[in-house]
Structure 1
Amino acid sequence: MKWLVLLGLVAFSECIVKIPLRRVKTMSNTASGKNMLNNFLKKHPYRLSQISFRGSNLTTHPLMNIWDSVYLGNITIGTPPQEFQVLFDTGSSDLWVPSLLCNSSTCAKHVMFRHHLSSTYRPTNKTFMIFYAVGKIEGVVVRDTVRIGDLVSADQTFGLSIAETGFENTTLDGILGLSYPNTSCFLSKALASVLKGTREGATSQQWLVMYFLARVSGSELVVGAVLEDMLSQRSPSLLLLYSSLDVSYYFLSISMKRYVIACSLGCEAFVDTGTSLIIGPRRLVNKIRKLIGATHWLSKHYVSCSVVNTLPSIIFTINGIDYPVPAQAYILEVSTGNCYLAFGEHGFILSRETWFLGDVFLRVYFSVFDRGNDRIGLARAV
C-alpha cells in the first residue's frame, strides 16, 4: 500500500514512446448489457480484489472496469509478435492474457495467445489465480518477449489464463500492471520494469509514465517524458509516494460550495487507472449523492441531464492543493436525458477512509507516474 504526499516539479526524459489508448464501450454503454450490469451490481458490490499465488495471499488491489468505459492500448507478445488490447493498470503489477488452451467461453471472445507459434516462448511449472471484483482468472506462468511500443522486455514473466469467470462482458484481452514489483503475484520481474530498461536501439531510461484520458479520442499513454502541450498554464503539482509505515497523517479532503462534505479529518486516496469511477466509502458517497440530489434506481443514482450545468464542482484537496472536478466530469450520460453520478461505493472496512480516483478524475487531470523517483504528478488536462 502506498501513500501520496506533496512534492515539487516533473522530471523529464529524452526517450519518448507514445501509445494511443482506445476508449471502448462496456456493459453500461450497450443496450444488451444494461440489464446484465444492473443485475451484476446488485449481486456483486465493489470490493478490493485479492491475489493469491499457490495458496498464499500476496497483495490486494482495486479493479473496476464495468461501469462506464475502459481505456485499452496495444501490446505484442512472442516472436513473431501477437497483438493484444490490454488495460494499463496502475493498481497491479502483472500481465496476463488469454491462452489458446483456455476452456472458458469468455476466452473465445478475446484474442488468445498461441504459444506454439512463438519461437521465444518458455513454459514454467508455476500456476496463478487472481480474484477481481468481477470474477477470477486462473492460469499458468510463462515467459516470452513482450513489446510496448518500441520498448522490449525479453524473457518476460507473465500469465496465460486457462479459465476466466466474470469477464464475459468486458472488451479487454488482458491486464498489464504498472505498479511496484513487490506487489507482483508472479514473484519475479514485473512487466513495469520494461518501461525503465530496454528500448530497441537506445539506452536505459527512467521509469516515467504519463496518462492522458479523453472522453472521445486522443487518449494516450506516454512513456519517458512529460509533454508540455498536454499541460495547462498551471504548473503540475506532484505527489510523492511513501510507505504507509512511515506516514502518520492524512492528506485528502472533499468539498463543495466551500464546505467540506467528506474527509474533514483527512482520508487516504489512490490514483488508479484500473478504476472507471471515483470510488469511496459507502457512507461518504451517499452523503455526496444526497447533496447532488440524485435519485436511486437499480443500483445507480440518476439526475436529469438538464441540470448538469447548474451543479457545483466537487473539489478534492490534496495537501492544500485544490483539484476541482466539474459536474460535466462526474455526471455521465447513460441515455438521452438520463445521467448518473459517476461515484461508486465500497463497503469494506479499513483503518482509514480510502478513496480510489479513477478515470472520471483522470479525464480532468492527467497523471504522471514516476516510479523511478517514487512520485505521482497531477496537472489540469488541456
Structure 2
Amino acid sequence: MTPLIALCMLLVSTASAEVIRVSLQRTALEVSRNATVSKLGRPSYRIRQAVARQSLEAYMKDIAYFGAVSVGNPPKSFRIDFDTGSANTWISSTLCQTTACMGHRRFNPDESTTFRNDGRRFLVQYGDGSSVNGVLGRDDINIGGVLLRGQSFGLAQSESDEMDDQTIDGIMGLAFSELNAVSNAPTVLDTMIDQRLLDAPIFSFHLSRGDANTQSTGEIIFGGIDASRFQSPMRFAPVTRPLYWQFHVDQVYIGGKSLKLSSDAVVDTGTSLIVVPSDIARQLHTQIPGSFFSPVSGWLLPCNLSSTGPALEFEMAGGKSTVPSVDYVGPALTMTPEMCFSNIMNSEVEHWILGDTFLKNNYVVFDYGNRRIGFAHRTDETKSPQKKPQLAQGSRARSTSRRRGRDYGRVASSPSNQVSSAATQKAKGGR
C-alpha cells in the first residue's frame, strides 16, 4: 500500500535570543508501508548553558519525524532522524556509490575546510537486515543555530538496499554513550556537555499528529522543556538500563480494563510504532473489536475505530500515559479500505518499544544527568499559547559527580517529582 502522505520541507525562520525555531512547509510524497516497518530495524538492539530548539518535520503520514542540521564549512544542510534508540551518528557521503546513497543528500568531505579524517571505520547492522558502514570523521555540526565544533560522526561509504526509500540523509543517536559502536568517539550529547552548550543535560520531545490534509510537526529542545506543551504534572521514571532510554511499565490498560501486564520498555524516537512481543500483541488486540491477524499484513483493525476505539494506557512513574485509538489505528489497506493497519506491531523484541505512536500523545523529557525519563500528557498545540522553553527547578545547579570524566549537570526534582516553571534559558545548544 502506498498512501499519499504529507512531507514537510524545512525552511529556516527568524531566531530570537532565547529560542531558535524552524518553520515548516508541506509537500506531498508517496511512501510505502514497508518503509515504515523497516524503520523498526534502525537501532542496534531491535529486529537494533543554553537551550537549543530544533523543529521536526513528519513524513509517512506523520509516522516518522526528522529535522535539519548543517555540517561542515561552508555548511550543508541534511535531513536527520533524531533517534533515542541508538547512539551512533552518521550521514550519507560522496564516498558512497551504492544505489541507496544516490537518493540522499551526501556530505563531501573535500568541500569542507573544517573536516578532519579520523581514520577509524564503523559498521552498523540493523535488525531488518539493513546496514551502513564507512569511516569516521570530525567536523562542525550546527543544530538549531548552535555550533558543535569537531563533532565525531560516520561518513557512510555503503548503505544497503533497504535504505533506498528513506527520506532521511542520516541518523543522530541520542541514546547513552555506552551504546556507541565506536569506543572513544563522543556522541552528540557528550559534545554538548563537554563544550558546555547546555544549561542542563536534558532534552525533550514534542510530536504532533497529522494526516495527508493537515500539517504535522514536532520539536526537540536540547537543554530545557517547553511548559506550554504539556498539561499534567511531569512524572519521572528511573532508567533501568543506561544503554537505551529504558524504564519499567507497571501495568497496561485498554478501554479501562487492566491486562495485568508489566515489562521494561524503551522510549524510541527512531521507531514509528509501538512494538511488543507477539503474545502481548495478541492480548492487546483481543480487546479491540474487529481486529485480526493477517500473515501477510500483520494486525489489522476496522478503520472506523479511529474515533471510537478503546484507549490504550501505560501506567508508570505513578501515573498513566494514554494512546487514543486515532493513533494506534494506522493507514487503510488499498484493496479493503474499511480495514486499517494496526500501529501496535508484534515482533520478537526483548522489551516493549514505545515509538512515535506513543510520543504523539505524551511530552517526554530525557534527563541525561539524572538518568531518568519524564512523562506528561501533551497539550493540543493549536489551543496552547507558545511559551519560552523552561527548565526543571534547580536545573542550573552542577553536580560534583562525574561520569566517564565528564561534568554532568543534574536536573533537581521539584516537589512531587514535577517539573516547575523556572528560569527561561537562552538559545545555543545542539544536537
Both proteins in one fold, TM over 0.5: yes
Cα gap change, 1:25 to 1:189, in 2 (>3 Å): farther
Aligned to 1:363: 360
Question: Does the 8 Å CA contact 2:81/2:172 hold for their aligned counterparts?
Answer: yes
Question: Does the 8 Å CA contact 1:152/1:194 hold for their aligned counterparts?
Answer: no
Aligned to 1:281: 277
Aligned to 1:295: 292
Task: Indicate the structure with greater helix content.
Answer: 1
> What does the per-residue CA deviation read over 1:113-168, in whole Å, with 9 as the maximum and x for residues that have no partner?
01111001111221111011330001111111111112222111110111101111
Corresponding residue to 2:313 among 304, 312, 315: 315
Aligned to 2:190: 193
Aligned to 1:223: 222
Question: Does the 8 Å CA contact 2:306/2:327 hold for their aligned counterparts?
Answer: no
Distance 2:90 2:42 in 1: 19
Give the counterpart letter for 1:209 in structure 2: F
Give the counterpart letter for 2:180 in structure 1: S
1:193-272 mapped onto 2 (5 Å cutoff): 193-196=190-193, 198=195, 204-216=198-210, 217-232=216-231, 234-243=232-241, 251-261=249-259, 263=261, 266-272=262-268
Distance 2:82 2:175 in 1: 10
Tell me the CA shift for residue 221 of structure 1. Answer: 1.1
Give the counterpart letter for 2:328 in structure 1: Y
1:109-188 mapped onto 2 (5 Å cutoff): 109-134=103-128, 135-165=130-160, 166-187=162-183, 188=185
The SS at the match of 1:92 is coil
The SS at the match of 1:100 is coil
> What does the per-residue CA deviation read over 1:240-268, in whole Å, with 9 as the maximum and x for residues that have no partner?
224479xxx954321123332251xx210
Q: Give the root-mean-square deviation of aligned CA atoms.
A: 3.0
Cα gap change, 1:272 to 1:241, in 2 (>3 Å): same
Question: Does the 8 Å CA contact 2:237/2:317 hold for their aligned counterparts?
Answer: no
Aligned to 2:7: none
The SS at the match of 1:107 is helix
With the length of structure 1 as denominator, give the TM-score of the two structures.
0.79
Give the counterpart letter for 1:259 in structure 2: K
Deviates more, 1:363-372 or 1:296-305: 296-305
Tell me the CA shift for residue 197 of structure 1. Answer: 5.1
> What does the per-residue CA deviation read over 1:29-84, in whole Å, with 9 as the maximum and x for residues that have no partner?
63xx35xx29x97xx8966854xxxxxxxxx3676x98972201001111111110
Question: Does the 8 Å CA contact 2:248/2:316 hold for their aligned counterparts?
Answer: no
Distance 1:269 1:25 in 2: 34
Distance 1:251 1:347 in 2: 18
Give the counterpart letter for 1:258 in structure 2: G
The SS at the match of 1:112 is coil
Q: Indicate whether 1:104 and 2:103 are aligned.
A: no
Q: Indicate whether 1:93 and 2:90 are aligned.
A: no
Cα gap change, 1:319 to 1:154, in 2 (>3 Å): closer
Q: Indicate whether 1:329 and 2:327 are aligned.
A: yes
Deviates more, 1:184-193 or 1:164-173: 184-193
Deviates more, 1:179-188 or 1:331-340: 331-340
Q: Percent identity?
A: 26
Q: Which runs of 5+ in 1 are unaligned?
A: 1-13, 51-59
The SS at the match of 1:303 is strand
Tell me the CA shift for residue 329 of structure 1. Answer: 1.7
Cα gap change, 1:280 to 1:148, in 2 (>3 Å): same
Distance 1:22 1:94 in 2: 29
The SS at the match of 2:239 is strand
Q: Indicate whether 1:72 and 2:69 are aligned.
A: no
Distance 1:21 1:262 in 2: 42
The SS at the match of 1:276 is coil
Q: Which runs of 5+ in 2 are unaligned?
A: 1-16, 49-58, 211-215, 380-431
Cα gap change, 1:254 to 1:49, in 2 (>3 Å): same
Distance 1:212 1:321 in 2: 19
Aligned to 2:417: none
Distance 2:254 2:27 in 1: 31
Question: Does the 8 Å CA contact 1:302/1:340 hold for their aligned counterparts?
Answer: yes
